[in-house]
Structure 1
Amino acid sequence: MADEPDAGEVAAVLLASFSVLLRRVRQVPAAGELTMPERSALSHLERSGPTTSSALAREVQITAQAMGTTIGALHTRGLVERRPDPDDGRRAVLTVTDAGRQALRDKRNARTELIAQALTSGMFTPAELDQLAAAAALLERLARNI
């Protein structure tokens, strides 16, 4: 009877593999390339919905000044919109524009395409592709339970 896998070893191998994969796909260029801070702010704003610059800065754990610079660049490119806060006219509420959503989609599509090309490059057998497909559901379940 085979020994059960050590959960700590499996965790270490998974984390190392994910780190390499994420590092590689984050390097994929896309049209209208976003900087890492811009992509982070835009993604967070898309997920969490309209918010202020200072609240967004707290969420992504950067200074309000750094977020202001990032938001300024996104606003100049038409990727975010500023509207007066209905509760406090001194503040602005930020929302992602259609162009901002498209920029994020373009980046995600470029990443998906990169992975799809690697999967169809002949480096993986049909059985291995089936294993990766099955593992995807397990990885999603793992992510939900962390």
Structure 2
Amino acid sequence: MDQISADAARAARDLRVLLGRLVRRLREVYDTSTLTPSQLSVLSRLGTAGAASASDLATAEGVRPQSVATILTALDAQGLVDRTPDPHDGRRLLISLTPAGRERADGVRQVREEWLARAFQDRFTAAERATVLDALTLLDRLTLERPTP
């Protein structure tokens, strides 16, 4: 196994810490006290990717199917998701957002994106924003492959 360079280790550590702080700050921007982070993640995924089966959601979220079942039960109790038969496979149910679920997912996304946009506009110069965009392009490579343990 190759030795990890000091700068790669520092970049990994600093990025992990920074992302953790950013996620916590984004949670503060919109009151999600009625939703757990896992529920909000599933709601967001359904809002962006569309209807999915519970097993597809479990795979996409990287959690056990039992965990998704619990999440969906809570979202269903709040009237945020619907379950309908899959037209291609009658044994499966597709989970989709209700109008209230769509409104909640869109509201959370809009408030958070507006906060970030305002922060970038107010706290960064145009050149710094360009640097951030360049860095995001590079960081996107991290999402292209599944990590190997």
Q: Same fold (TM over 0.5)?
A: yes
- Whether contact under 8 Å (1:30, 1:110) holds in the other structure is no
Question: CA separation in 2, counterparts of 1:131 and 1:20?
Answer: 24
Q: State the partner residue of 1:74.
A: 75
Q: State the partner residue of 1:88.
A: 89
**Number of residue pairs the alignment of both structures matches:** 135
- Whether contact under 8 Å (2:76, 2:82) holds in the other structure is yes
- Closer, same or farther in 2 for the Cα pair 1:66/1:31, shift >3 Å? closer
Structure 1 regions of 5+ residues with no counterpart?
A: 1-5
- Whether contact under 8 Å (1:30, 1:106) holds in the other structure is no
| Matched letter for residue 137 of structure 1 | L
Give the secondary structure class of the aligned counterpart of 1:145: helix
Q: State the partner residue of 1:50.
A: 51
TM alignment of 1:94-113, pairs within 5 A: 94-113=95-114
Deviations 1:38-97 (A, max 9, x none): 111112223332211122112212222221121122122222111012233332111123
Question: CA separation in 2, counterparts of 1:14 and 1:63?
Answer: 27
Question: CA separation in 2, counterparts of 1:75 and 1:96?
Answer: 9
Identity %: 30
Question: CA separation in 2, counterparts of 1:59 and 1:94?
Answer: 14
Q: State the partner residue of 2:145.
A: none
- Closer, same or farther in 2 for the Cα pair 1:32/1:24, shift >3 Å? closer
Give the secondary structure class of the aligned counterpart of 2:52: coil
Structure 2 regions of 5+ residues with no counterpart?
A: 1-5, 143-149
- TM-score normalized by the length of structure 1: 0.71
| Matched letter for residue 17 of structure 1 | L
More relative contact order, 1 or 2 (CA 8 Å, 6+ apart): 1
Question: CA separation in 2, counterparts of 1:59 and 1:52?
Answer: 11
Q: State the partner residue of 1:136.
A: 132
Question: CA separation in 1, counterparts of 2:70 and 2:17?
Answer: 33
Cα RMSD (Å): 2.8
- Closer, same or farther in 2 for the Cα pair 1:92/1:74, shift >3 Å? same
Misfit runs of 4+, over 6 Å: none
